[in-house]
Amino acid sequence: MPGVSAIIRKYLRCDRQAIILEVQTKPLILVVDDQATIIRIMSSILQPMYDVCVATNGKKALEVARTRQPDLILLDNMMPEMTGVETCMALKEIPATKNIPVVFVTSMDDKHNEQMGFKAGAVDYMNKPPSAELVHARVSVHLRNQRQRVFLEQIARGEITDPVLIQQSARYLLDND
C-alpha cells in the first residue's frame, strides 16, 4: 500500500488500551528523469529529509514503483521510449501503484501538457528547474495528503474502529506534518 513505507506503527499503553500512533519516518521519493544532472539536482534537494530512489525511464520507473512502493513520484514528461504521461497512466492501472501520488517535473510549461498530466492521474505539476523551496513545499503537501488518505482508507476498510483511537490518530495526523 502506498504510504506504508513512511509509516511505522508504534504501540503504547495508555489507560490499559493499546493506542496506535502513526510515526513519520523518512518517506521514499522516486525521481524519474532521463537526465543525470536533473536526478542529481533533485536528489540533493530532497536529501537528507527524504530517502530517494531513481529511474531513468518510464519502464524502469514502473519496476521501481512496484518493488519499492515509494510514497511519492516526481516524474519527467519528456523521456525516450515511454513519456511521463504514458508512465503515469501505466502506474494508475497497476493496483500496487495506482494510489501513489505523481508530480510532474518538466520543462514543458504549456497548458496542454499540464492538462494531459492531470488527465493521466498526476496530482501536481512543477516546471524545471524548480527551486528547492518549491520542491519541499509541494512534496510536503502531497505526503501529508497521502498519509491522511491512507488513514481514511484504514477506517473505511474497518481496520481501525475504536473511536478514541480514530480521534487520537486524526489529531496526530493534523498536528504533525
For residue 48, cis peptide bond before it (omega within 30 degrees of 0): yes
CA gyration radius for the chain?
17
Q: How confident is the model at residue 52 (pLDDT cuts 50, 70, 90)?
A: very high
* Sign of the torsion formed by the C-alpha atoms of 113, 133, 52 and 21: negative
Is 14 or 167 the better-scoring residue by pLDDT? 167
Among 108, 114, 102, smallest CA distance to 128 is for: 108
Name the amino acid, one letter, at 115.
Answer: Q
Query: With 60 as the cut, is the pLDDT of residue 13 above it?
Result: no
> Is it true that domain 4-162 has CATH number 3.40.50.2300?
yes
State residue 113's pLDDT score.
85
Could you state, in order of their start, the residue ranges of all structural domains in the chain? 4-162
* Cβ pair 73, 100 in contact under 8 A: yes
Average pLDDT, the chain: 85
Cell numbers linked to 88: 503515469
The dihedrals phi and psi of 111, each to the nearest 5 degrees, come to -65, -35
